[in-house]
Structures are given as structure tokens and as C-alpha cells.
Homo-oligomer: A and B are copies of this chain.
Amino acid sequence: MTTRQIILQSRPSGAPTLQNFKLENTTLDQLKSGEVLLKGLYYSVDPYMRGRMNDAKSYVAPFKINEPLEGGVVATIIESKSDNFKVGDTVVGRSPWKEIFVSKDDILQKVDTNVPELSYYLSILGMTGLTAYFGLMDICKPKTGETVVVSGAAGAVGMVVGQIAKLQGCHVIGIAGTDEKAKTLIEDFGFDQVINYKTTKDIYKSVKDACPNGVDAYFDNVGGEISDAVISAINFHARIALCGQISLYNSKETPMGPRIQPMLLTRSVLMQGFIVGNYQDRFPEGMKHLTSWVKEGKLQFTQTVVEGFDQLPTALLGLFEGVNTGKMIVKA
């Protein structure tokens, strides 16, 4: 049996281009016992995938040249040699970038299809939501009345972070890249204020103006000069969760900037890098809160859905141009 797949043809130097990817046909192996055959419905496209395109040590292994990329997926079972799944079941798991793929049954999880969007299992009811929940609640530890700043606020994680911070009674400032995104975050997601970092003349001044009492917690998705500005307004005993550094991912050279340690030192600031996997033992706790907030309508979400399996590379490149609002999804 054949299907289409998207492989990593070459590693990018700086910003990736479509030439780094290749769409091709491939043959699938016969199903073995304990395996299922799946058709992908929704594929997750995430900023961390850029790091996996480099050949560098990180928290996940690099993608291999001439092999398919890989990521989260919602899929339906079209053939089963597993006792746990039958044809027609909808599951969430991970898959190579193939339209049809084989998976062992023990890494798949059957999902309740009675949710607003099946693709939510790749986002607010999946790693995106859990990343926002644990980074904010466990590292930023927001307290009522505190000022919380979120960079990459219109990204999938950022918009959830801001809403959870509002649920904790915080004053929430987002940083995003278009006035349209800013408007959505304020009107639909309850942010108190959003700074457009692309149009502001002085990001340092904008942050200080938006945070007259200083910054108590910073959930950082972007890094770079935006973070320099937020850190310049950081309060004593503030907490900074490092979730992403998307502004730096395409740097060819080691990015340089003002040294931050003197500020962290003199203000007794905590900075913690994390990945959601660190909290695996506590996923049920996170899912419980996220699910109930979504059901109660307290947590809104938005996605950018790109149609067509072959659009996966374009969707990934689009993340770095900020074309998405919220989670980027490809619908096969």
C-alpha cells in the first residue's frame, strides 16, 4: 500500500524554505499484531519543529535527513490488528508526516468526539493547553492583582496563558504583532492590554507604560528584544517561564543581547526553562482544569486551519511569519 509523505530533504541555514522539504510517495509495511493503520485528520504544526530541523542536541531528537518529519495528530483507524482499537475509532497520538500511517497501539489514546472541534486535542485539550497551564501555574505562580505579561500572546499557548492568568485575577498584558491580533486578544480573550511590538516606536517604554506597577510574572514565547524590554520592568521576586524563543530560532549566529543576569540577581528573579513533558505526572490535573474551563465557556480558543496534507511545510514556515492566530493546524 502506498501513501504520500513529506521528508526533510536538507537542513536549513537560517530561515527554512520549501526547498528543505520534499513531498513523495512511499510504501507502507504490513500491519503486525498490536498495530493499527490510521488516516490522519488533523496535523499539529509547532514552533519547536524548527529546532528539530537542526542537527543539534535539544530536548527532542533532530529530524533525520530523507525521513518524514513527525508531530502530533488526530487520526481515525482504518484497519486494526489491536485488541484495543476498532475501525472508525478516533485517536490522538503522534505520526510521521504521512497521509496514512502505521502505529503501535500503546502510544494512541482514544478520544471523546463530543467536543467543539476534534483538533482541540492537538491544542487547548492537548500539549498547547497543558504547556500554558503548567508554565503559568507552576512557574509564574500568578497571584490575584499581579501583573502578568505574555509574549507571543496571539500564539496558541499565549492566548491560553492570558486567559488562565485572567481567571487567577491578574492584570494581563499581551505582546503581539498586528493590531488585528491585539483587538482579538482584548475583545474575545479578555486581555487587559496588548502591545503591538511591530508598530511601537519604543518597546521598552510601551512595556513600562502598560505595567505601571512593574511585571510580576512573564510567560515568554519569543525572546530577543521583546524579552529585554519586559525584563527591564521586572519586579523583585518576579517569575519568568521560558516556553519559547521563536524570535531567535532562525538565527545563524549565536544571538547577542544585553546580559540579563545582573537584573535577575538584583531583583531576586526566578527564570525557568521548561517543556511540558516535565509535568507528565501531573497531566491529569491539568486536563481536568482545562476541560472544565472549556466546558464552562471560560476558556476560548482560536485556530488557523490550513487545508491539505501537502500544505504542512507552508504552514510550518508560516509560523515564523506570524500568519497564524492561535494554534496552527493542517487538515488533511
Given contacts A258-B254, A259-B255, contact A273 B265 (CB under 8 A): yes
In the bound assembly, the distance between CA atoms of A272 and B223 in angstroms comes to: 18
A258 to B245, CA, bound (A): 14
Residues of chain B lying within 8 A (CB to CB) of residue A248: 259, 261-262
List A200-231 residues whose CB lies under 8 Å from chain B.
Answer: 220, 223-224, 227
Judge if A269 is at the interface, Cβ distance under 8 Å.
yes
Q: Cβ of A244 < 8 Å from any Cβ of B?
A: yes
Contact A59 B236 (CB under 8 A): yes
Separation of A260 and B268 alpha carbons in the complex (Å): 17
Q: Which residue of B lies closest to A262 (CB)?
A: B245
Contact, CB under 8 Å: B242 / A264 = yes
Contact with A268, one of B256, B263, B269, B275 (Cβ below 8 angstroms): B275
B268 lies within 8 A of A270 (CB)? no
A255 contacts which chain B residues (CB < 8 A)? 258-259, 262
Chain B minimum-CB-distance residue to A236: B59
* A242-287 residues at the B interface, CB under 8 angstroms: 242-245, 248, 254-275, 278
Q: Determine if B273 and A266 form an interchain contact, defined as CB atoms under 8 angstroms apart.
A: yes
Q: Which of B224, B243, B264, B266 contacts A271 (CB 8 A)?
A: B264
Bound form: Cα–Cα A237–B269 in Å: 18
The smallest C-beta distance from A121 to any residue of chain B, in angstroms, reads 25
Cα separation A272 to B274 with both chains bound (whole Å) = 14
| A side interface size, CB within 8 A | 37
CB-nearest residue of chain B to A270: B272
Say yes or no: B236 contacts A261, CB within 8 Å: no
Q: Is the CB of A278 within 8 A of B274?
A: no
A58 in contact (CB, < 8 A): yes
Bound form: Cα–Cα A220–B271 in Å: 15
Chain B contacts for A258, CB-based, 8 A: 254-256
The answer to whether A220 touches B261 (Cβ under 8 A) is yes
Residue among A220, A271, A274 facing the most chain B CB atoms (10 A cut-off): A271
A254 nearest CB across to chain B (Å): 5
Q: Is A16 an interface residue (CB 8 A)?
A: no
Whether the Cβ atoms of A223 and B259 lie closer than 8 Å is yes
Q: Given the known A-B contacts A259-B223, A259-B255, A261-B220, are A273 and B278 also in contact in the complex, defined by CB atoms under 8 Å?
A: no
Tell me the bound Cα distance from A269 to B260 in angstroms: 15
From known contacts A256-B256, A270-B271, A271-B271, infer whether A265 and B244 are also in contact, taking CB-CB under 8 Å: yes
Name A245's contact: one of B265, B272, B274 (CB within 8 Å).
B265
**Can you list 8 pairs linking A and B with CB atoms under 8 Å apart?**
A224-B259, A245-B262, A248-B259, A255-B258, A260-B261, A261-B273, A269-B273, A270-B271
Top 3 A-B residue pairs of the complex, sorted by shortest distance between their CB atoms: A265-B273, A264-B273, A242-B265
